[in-house]
Amino acid sequence: MITKSLFICFLFSFNLAFGQVIQSGIILPDQRDEEEICCIYVPEDGFTVYNQPNGEITGHLTGDVKQNLGDQYNYQIFFVDDSTKRETQIDLENLQEIAYEIWALTYSTRINGFVKLKLEHDGQDLWLKESDIDKVGFEIVDWQTFLSNNVENLLGYYANDPGLNLREKPTTDSKIIKTLKGDTHQILPTKEHKRLWTKVKVIIYKEHPCRANVTEEDNIMQELEGWVKIIDDNGQPNVWYYSRGC
């Protein structure tokens, strides 16, 4: 007889095999070139927060609170509790910097038309409704899509420690072309995906371009192509990037 825990593991493995992965990512305005959107990506009237999917409204995430004054207004966001009216500032460390001094909310779970944010308030999960997000001109973007769409806006991506295997095919038993490590192995994702895998181009530099005192051509040691598992089994990035440029 299969135990309950083994059955759950079986279902999880089955879902991964057929591409039904646990999603995680960031919440972005669908038009990011508007100057009025700065510097934390939250709509003017904030986001309505729920205690669980299809649950009760517990508060709002917004910058429009009484204590948010002065020249740091655009760099501060608060959770406002609907019952107590208490305003609690959210530390920027709980958000993801996606460009120079631009931060976005991140989510760790997507289920039944809701996303769970990667932050808590008084030990309670914070959930946003997908239809609410859409109504205020924002969108839910999983990490795999974000990394591919922003390859030209960031200084490439680099493998998380202890490294990331570049393979000939999008499977764990495929031949390893090279193990990518450090910030001289620049990973450039394409938009070709197979489940958690992404086809990439890799440029191997003598020195990171920001530190090099030679031309781009002289600094390049090797160029490769292959597949990397760009996100892990939970949909989190297996790569990092310099959000503030050189």
**Digit-coded pLDDT (tens) for 98-154:** 999 999 999 999 999 999 999 888 888 999 999 999 999 999 999 999 999 999 989
Q: Are 109 and 21 in contact (CB under 8 A)?
A: no
| pLDDT one-digit tens code per residue, 180-223 | 999 999 999 999 999 999 999 999 999 999 999 999 999 999 99
pTM: 0.86
Tell me how far apart the alpha carbons of residues 18 and 21 are, in angstroms, rounded to a whole number: 8
Query: Domains, the chain, ranges and CATH?
Result: 22-142 (no CATH), 158-240 (2.30.30)
Q: What are phi and psi of 90, to 5 degrees?
A: -95, 125
**Quick one: CA dihedral 197, 198, 199, 203, positive or negative?**
negative
**Three-state DSSP state, 71:** helix
Place of tokens 């001109």: 137
CB-count exposure of residue 205 (10 Å: 0-12, 13-18, 19+): buried
